[in-house]
Amino acid sequence: MTHARTFGAAALLAVLALGGCGTEKRGDNVDPDQVDSTAVPDVGVCRNLTPEDVGQSANATRTVDCADKHTAETYAAGTLPDEFEDADYQDESVGEFAYKTCTQKFEKFLGGDESLVLRTIVSWAWFRPSENAWDDGARWYRCDVIGGNATSEEYRPLPETAQGLLLGRPDDRWLICAAGATVADGEKVPCAQPHTWRAATTIKLGEPEDKYPGDEVVASRTKAFCANSIKAWLNYPARFEYAYTHFHEAEWQAGNRRSVCWAKTSD
């Protein structure tokens, strides 16, 4: 029996969803009415977002008909709780609230559980008002599902709506695999494309209120679980190779409690 182990964090956006923290930029594809809007954004609208757009705190990209080509869909939006009324623009607690809120709504919107959404090629990004709108009292968040992850150089088009995308047996177009000698160095691709590794299962390492157990404990638990889990997933072959992605304290503090187990397989 051979075990190929992969350490470190593969950059899966679904784990730590993209939340804009860069300096706000405004490209050519901007709706002037959205730029400094204090109104809560509409849900169910679509846009063509790029990785550069997602790297910003605020976004005013023009909406498009969801029947047309698009890379993002707003699945949740709302007013921030009163506790953020006097918060600074880049207050970390705002990001923590957005992470928890968008994550919960993301799972419900896609129709997948916590494990499955961690293994999908799509992920989510969140935005807040512009700095001018924030100074004018705007306190809202916007969660967008996007057709890619943190390693994507460009995003893939989404269906007319991504609602229910993971219900039943999800299409391999939306599940994440890796092509390369190792998971850490391999390109993350949809499982419908040629690949070497598949994100097959996950392990839950703690509850929301638990303290971070430390890198060594996380790695040890992940390794032991993934060895057994992938062997079972592959129907107990005599020889197999597996890999695992475990995360660290920063991801734990942001809310992630899972590691990912990968099976070496060509299908």
- Give tens-digit pLDDT for 130-187: 999 999 999 999 999 999 988 788 999 999 999 999 999 999 999 999 999 999 888 8
**Secondary element (H or E) of residue 217:** helix 215-233
Owning domain of residue 105? 18-146
CA atoms in the 13 A half-sphere facing the CB of 13: 30
- Residue 154 belongs to a domain: no
Q: Same domain for 210 and 260?
A: yes
Non-local CB neighbours of 88 within 8 Å, separated by 6+ positions: none
Could you report the per-residue pLDDT of 66-111, keeping only the tens digit for each? 999 999 999 999 999 999 999 999 998 999 899 889 999 999 999 9
Q: How many CB atoms lie within 10 A of CB 70?
A: 22
Question: Percentage of the chain surpassing pLDDT 70?
Answer: 89
Give the confidence band of 6 by pLDDT, cuts at 50, 70, 90. Answer: very low
Q: Work out how many domains the chain is built from and give that number.
A: 2
Give the confidence band of 255 by pLDDT, cuts at 50, 70, 90. Answer: confident
Give the confidence band of 13 by pLDDT, cuts at 50, 70, 90. Answer: very low
- Residue 194 belongs to a domain: yes
| Strand 123-127 with 18-19, pairing | parallel
The pLDDT of residue 12 is 39
CA-atom Rg of the chain in angstroms: 19
CB 184 within 8 A of CB 197: no
Q: Same domain for 39 and 114?
A: yes
DSSP bridge partners of 190: 176
- Residue 110 belongs to a domain: yes
Calpha distance 226→4 (Å, rounded):
11
* Phi and psi torsions of 238, nearest 5°: -70, -35
